[in-house]
Structures are given as structure tokens and as C-alpha cells.
Amino acid sequence: MAVLAATWGASYLFIKVGLRDFSAPFLVFARTALAALVLLPVALHRNALGALRGHGGSIALLAGLQVVAPFMLITLGEQWIPSALTGILVASAPIWTAALAFTAYAPAERPGRVALAGLGCGLVGVALLFGVDLGGDRLAVLGGLLVLLAGLAYAGGGIEFKRRMAGVDPAAAAAATMSASAVLMLPPALLTLPTSAGADSVSALLALGILGTGLAFLIFYGLIAQEGPSRASLVAYLSPPFAVVYGVWVLGEPVTAATFAGLALIVGGSYLAAGGRLPASRARGPAVASARS
């Protein structure tokens, strides 16, 4: 679990380094294509792809909502905000789920008092980060808003996965959505092909796709099999601190007291927004992985 949290937390570092030479569309295409190359053989070995028959529309929807949209929003946002801050803001997905519960979109997720407290706690954390760490910089505020929208996309994707893909092997679902996402991102990637790239950017891209997206899923599903979905989903709360450590240690990103306070408020609020429990329902789908990155 520590290895998985460390791997997912590093995704934001890999994105930041990859952006030095690659466009956001190319990064998203490459990471999803690499992840599909890792996941498809596993799904084939498990004879799990047959269960996807009749789910073509759902796969396309999830690819757009749960992978392409948040991956693009995170990558675009990281052009203007630190990777450490990105890792913290992405953890807002359970807070968005609680907020969506007050709309007609997700009444089944209606939160109780504990979840409402988490929603309020998370909003305070977001306000603190925007007011202190991003205050006064319009592009940084825009980047932060894009990452928050990625959390919203993850929340909506988790709800849709629960509705549409019940009973489908998560490895097959992840392989299919990553493959569909790569196809969706191919045209914009071709329009923004890099003319050159340094060794650091290439290494970061390979690590992002193979380790941070593909192999991370395999470790996650192994944890689900061995420890159960509730215990495995602890990683959703463990990866943001790793993102902060990487950002500070590797990239030398500045942090403030507000950064750590925002981290505590958003991660704690996410925990409470999930009902004061582990998000077991989300552990069965790709939402957990990308919420992470």
C-alpha cells in the first residue's frame, strides 16, 4: 500500500517534468496508451474482456468523464500551480461527491451529518489554499480551478461507474477505458507532437504511463484481492502527502503553513465526506486511481 501511495503521489511530479517538453494533449495520450499496453494483457489473461459486451457506450462515457477530462484538467492546471498543490486539490473528489448528492444527479449519495461536516471542512481547506498559496496570481488561480474541476469529474465518473459497470472486472474496465481514452486523445496529440524532448521529460512520461497509471492499477487490484476494497482504498488518503514530499524534495517547490493546513483539511474533509469511512464503493473502479492523478 505504501508503494502504491508513493507511486500515485509521484504522478504529479512526473506531469510537471513532462510538461517541460510535451503538450498537455500529448502527455495524456501517451500515459493512457502506455497504461493500456500494461492493462490489456492482464485483462486478457483473466478472460475478463468478454464481460464488456454491451457496455460500449458506458466505456466511452467513462473514458471521457473519468480519464480524459480529469487527466487533461490536471495537466493543464499544473502548467501554473505546483505539483504538491495539485496532489492536494485532486483529493477533493469525495467532497464533490457529497456536493453532488444535493442535486438531482446523485440523490442516492445523499450525505449524513458527518459527510456534511467533511464538505464544510474541505471547502475551508480549498479556500485557504486559494487565498494564501494562490492568492494574487490569476494564472495560478485558473490552474487551481482546473484541478478542482478534475476532482468534480472524478466524482461524477465514480458515480457513473457504480451505475453502469456493476459486476464488470475492474481490470477489464480500466483496460477498456484507458484504450478508449488513448483513441480519443490521438487527434489532439498528433496536432501537438513534440519536435524534441530531453531525457528528463521522456523518463517522466514513461514513468507516468507505465508506473503511475498502468502498474499502479495492477498493484491496486492486487491489494483489493488480498486485503479487500475498503482497506485498499486507504491509498486515496495516503497519496496526497507523497505528492507534497516529492514536490518539495525533488522540484524544490515552496510550501507554507497554509499548504499543510489545506492538506489536512481537504484530506480530512474527504474522509468525512465519504461518510467517515473508507470509500469502498469507489475502490472497485478506475475513479480511485485517476483521483489520484
- Using one digit for the tens of pLDDT, what is the confidence trace for 182-215? 999 999 999 999 988 999 999 999 999 999 998 8
User: Over 90: is that where the pLDDT of 54 sits?
Assistant: no
pLDDT of 94 reads 79
Where exactly are the structural domains of the chain?
Answer: 2-292
Cβ atoms of residues 289 and 211 within 8 Å: no
180: number of CA atoms within 13 Å, CB side? 22
Of residues 265 and 166, more confidently modeled: 265
CA distance 161 to 143: 27
Residues 6+ away with beta carbon under 8 Å from 224: 170, 232, 283, 284
User: Over 70: is that where the pLDDT of 155 sits?
Assistant: yes
CA distance 166 to 80: 38
Q: Binning pLDDT at 50, 70 and 90, where does residue 156 land?
A: confident
User: Over 60: is that where the pLDDT of 247 sits?
Assistant: yes
Distance separating the N- and C-terminal Cα atoms of the chain: 16
* 104 three-class SS: coil
pLDDT of 216 reads 84
Q: Binning pLDDT at 50, 70 and 90, where does residue 107 land?
A: low
User: Over 80: is that where the pLDDT of 226 sits?
Assistant: no
Cβ atoms of residues 155 and 96 within 8 Å: yes
Cβ atoms of residues 96 and 159 within 8 Å: no
